[in-house]
Amino acid sequence: MARAPLFLALLCIAAFASADGTDARKMVGVYVLKKGDFSVKISNWGATIMSIVTPDSKGNLGDVVLGFDTLAEYVNDTSYFGPLTGRVAQRMARGRFVLDGKVYHTYINDGKNAIHGGHRGFSKVIWTVKEYVGGGDSPYITLYYRSFDGEQGFPGDLDVYATYQLSGPHELSIRTNATALNKATPVNFLQHVYWNLGGEGSGDILGHTLQLSASRYTPMDEELLPSSGRVDPVAGTSYDFRTPTPIGARIRKVKGGSVFGYDINYVIDRVGMRKVAAARDGASGRGLELWANQPAMQLYTGNFLNNTKGKGGKVYDQYGGFALETQAYPDAVNHPEFPSIIVRPGQVYKHDMLYKFSF
């Protein structure tokens, strides 16, 4: 199978610090994976999903991912439109944890806490393109990043790979793995895509129906941290999506921090690779299933989007998209009652996701 040219579009970005402290000039590219009428656009800036184009029930193609037109806008993005976040995604209380008796302090970038790996986490670095096949039966791209000892305060060198592949006619699989090379370290990745199955910029997602394979959740405090460490049943609460329910049905009864909306972690039923969520937009007929192998998932309903300029001059407002972020439990490093996210030298962290689209 012939390989497509490595870079479809290039942007030269200077003066990024390398692991040894020197400045390095690196190239950022945009890569397209295409199979029939299904296409995905990815950048090695932050391992970011920039667009996913798929048909609706009438055969009309539309982009269902919120984002920007230019790479420069992704570099300056503060909403996390589409990147892979880490080394430890989600919030970490006070950016602090204790591992093997040693206290570590990571970069604080969310009030008093750390979020998504710090101000220069995996979503704000240039990944190396290891392999790229843009077309054919199973288009894919494999990205690599070496996270160095002390990066954003985390211990040890970490080798990270992420492969994005069109594994079926309208399916995108994402396989990530990370190997701790010389020190134990916490690891938790998530893919921060904002979905609007009606098409990005088409309005809010409150009418989308959502079903989650989750009978429990972790209550959050005002800082969106699971401070109590409790795991509660969703039954009888506004967090219950065990049957298909419009996202907006109870959204004014829940708060994600200071605003109304969902920003909550669910504990997924069962273990292994299984279906964790299904969503559908009645107007377009588009559906999405998410399969994953992680124990938990954050539901976020774009609560803080506010007059955000997106693709083609469209404006994204509150509830303009929703995110389904498979992950470990938030702040697990500070909660021994939660499943551990510590990866020791020679061990491999694996996080697999599969997105299945229908229409």
Residue of 192, 208, 335, 351 marked active site: 192
Look-up: residue for tokens 């509830």? Answer: 319
**Residue 14: is its pLDDT beyond 80?**
no
User: What's the whole-model pTM score?
Assistant: 0.93
**Residue 15: is its pLDDT beyond 50?**
no
pLDDT for res 12 = 38
The tens digit of pLDDT for each residue in 27-40 reads 999 999 999 999 99
Nearest to 83 by CA among 117, 44, 123: 123
Question: By the 8 A CB rule, do 301 and 293 touch?
Answer: no
Alpha-carbon distance of 250 to 317, in angstroms, equals 19
Mean residue pLDDT across the chain:
93
Confidence category of residue 297, pLDDT binned at 50, 70, 90: very high
**Residue 122: is its pLDDT beyond 50?**
yes
Q: Is 325 a catalytic residue?
A: yes
pLDDT for res 4 = 38
The tens digit of pLDDT for each residue in 335-355 reads 999 999 999 999 999 999 999
Q: Find the helix or strand (DSSP H, E) in which 59 lies.
A: none
Alpha-carbon distance of 93 to 39, in angstroms, equals 38
pLDDT for res 26 = 66
**Residue 253: is its pLDDT beyond 60?**
yes
**Residue 74: is its pLDDT beyond 90?**
yes
Burial 86-114 (b: 16+ CB within 10 A, else e): bbbbbbbbbbbbebeeeebebbbbbeebb
Residue of 151, 170, 208, 325 marked active site: 325
The tens digit of pLDDT for each residue in 145-159 reads 999 999 999 999 999
State mean pLDDT over 81-104.
Answer: 98
State mean pLDDT over 124-128.
Answer: 98
Q: Is 151 a catalytic residue?
A: no
User: Residue 322: what residue type?
Assistant: F
